[in-house]
Structure 1
Amino acid sequence: MILTTTLPKSKHALVLPLAATSFQTILQVLKETNAKKIYLIGDDPATLLGTFKSKLPVVQAGGGLVRNQSGKMLFIFRKGKWDLPKGKIDKGETLEKGAKREVKEETGVKKLQLNGLAGVTYHIFKRNDKYQLKETHWFHMTTTYTGKLKPELQEDITKAKWKGPKKTAKALENSYGNIKFLLKDFKIS
């Protein structure tokens, strides 16, 4: 789904008016057409995301782009894909505190230092037969932790690994689009 204020150049692109289209209709059109993408068009760039977020429940999440003292990046392996540690923010918790907690819970890494917001990603998921939008706030983090990594098996995380540049590039070949997008401009070396 692409939120935009301009019509795509292709005459064959699927375009729906964002404000006047329900989320169920968007899903129905995607299923019926087997389309890989759909353009949701609006008039005001400042309100596009808010309009889309009003169409389904939003779950706030936090995660980390974590580096150790050697400059290696922390990855988790969950459900057959390499990912970054992240999770739902608890009620009353700040995004920063929740992101640090999730990294610690999913990997065992402690001594985390926040170094600013890295970006925000969005993805739609289905839980209990209801679609929701996960809005994940990613933070740059560093750590001096040198202990054993402990993947959170209860969350289907089977591996937690530090990866240098070559292994990071390899992991991204088997990762999610949002993770690739998040790391595309991030210096991996």
Structure 2
Amino acid sequence: MFNQITDPHYICGMQANITIYLNERPLLLCSDQEPIPAHLAAAKVYTNPDTEKMESVLRKLEDGKKETAIFTAPDVKQLFKKVSLHFTTLVAAGGLVTNPAGEVLMMFRRGKWDLPKGKQDPGENLETCALREVAEETGLHTVALEHKITETFHYYPMKNKKVLKHTHWYRMQFTGTELTVPQIEEDIQDLQWVKPENVAKYLKFSYENIREVFRAANM
């Protein structure tokens, strides 16, 4: 079941600037009063884009005809609502799990290193969803949720739908003794506890939104 992001519960908790990744290409949504980030200085800026312009830019990002773009408007939340109308939105939650040694749990799935996450079930709060998904995908049940890290947004095609996945990420601590068990039916091939000094090597073979989670967690 898909949860629409226009629900005020999700809009209110959203960060001021929003980056949506379409096939690893960033679309930044920000206030027209904010300076453009240095790393996106070359991106074309679209101020108050209408529906037709949004559709055109989204399609070019998806198809690789444009590497990045910026939408600006006075109200970023309203801007995001308009952009989200071009997608079916799925709300998810996941975790950045560390153990007492400070190692981070990463999973290898579909050729990339990833973090455990999954869609929110009807009636389930985000914290419960995050813990459930970690348990299902990794086999770890002795996990304590500490605090929220950030939210990420990325697009992917699913059947005939264009899905925008809005994921809420939480910092978690594993304190048990159970061994990891990859959820094979979710295409998880491997689970590894990664030392902090080696995380960057794994992130080279990951996704932009996952790198964003690590940046937000100061790791």
TM interval, shorter chain, is 0.7 to 0.9
Percent identity, please: 33
Of 32-41 and 69-78, the range deviating more from structure 2: 32-41
Matched, 1:147 2:173: no
Which stretches in structure 2 are left out of the alignment for 5+ residues? 1-26
Alignment correspondent of 1:18: 49
Q: Supply the distance in 2 between the matched residues of 1:12 and 1:182 (Cα, whole angstroms).
A: 23
Q: How far is the alpha carbon of 1:49 from its aligned partner?
A: 2.2
Kindly report which structure 2 residues correspond to 1:91-170, keeping only aligned pairs within 5 A, or say none: 91-170=122-201
What TM-score results when the alignment is normalised by the length of structure 1? 0.87
1:117-151 Cα distance to aligned partner (Å, 9 max, x none): 11100001110121011000001111112222111
Which of 70, 80, 87 pairs up with 1:39?
70
In structure 1, the partner of 2:110 is 79
CA distance in 2 between counterparts of 1:141 and 1:23 reads 37
Say if 1:75 and 1:84, in contact at 8 Å, map to a contact too. yes
- Tell me, yes or no, if the aligned pair for 1:125 and 1:131 is still in contact at 8 Å: yes
Alpha carbons 2:43, 2:68 under 8 Å: kept: no
Structure 1: gaps of 5 or more residues: none
| Contact 1:15 1:41 survives alignment (8 Å) | yes
Number of equivalences: 188
Q: TM-score, normalised by structure 2?
A: 0.76
1-side partners of 2:44 and 2:183: how far apart? 42
What is the SS of the residue equivalent to 2:52? coil
Give the direction of change, closer, same or farther, for the CA distance of 1:107–1:32 in structure 2 (3 Å limit).
Answer: closer
Among residues 17, 29, 42, which one is paired with 1:3 in the alignment? 29
Contact 1:22/1:55, CA 8 A, preserved across alignment: no
Q: Check the 8 A contact 1:19/1:42 in 2, yes or no.
A: no
Could you tell me whether the CA contact under 8 Å between 1:62 and 1:138 is conserved in 2? yes
Distance 1:84 1:150 in 2: 14
One-letter amino acid of the counterpart of residue 158, structure 2: R
CA distance in 2, matches of 1:10, 1:165: 31
Q: Is the 8 A contact 1:14 1:37 kept in 2?
A: no
Amino acid at match of 2:205: N
How far does the alpha carbon of each residue in 1:15-64 deviate from its partner, in whole angstroms, 9 at most, with x for none? 37434337543334446781101222323234222332233221010100
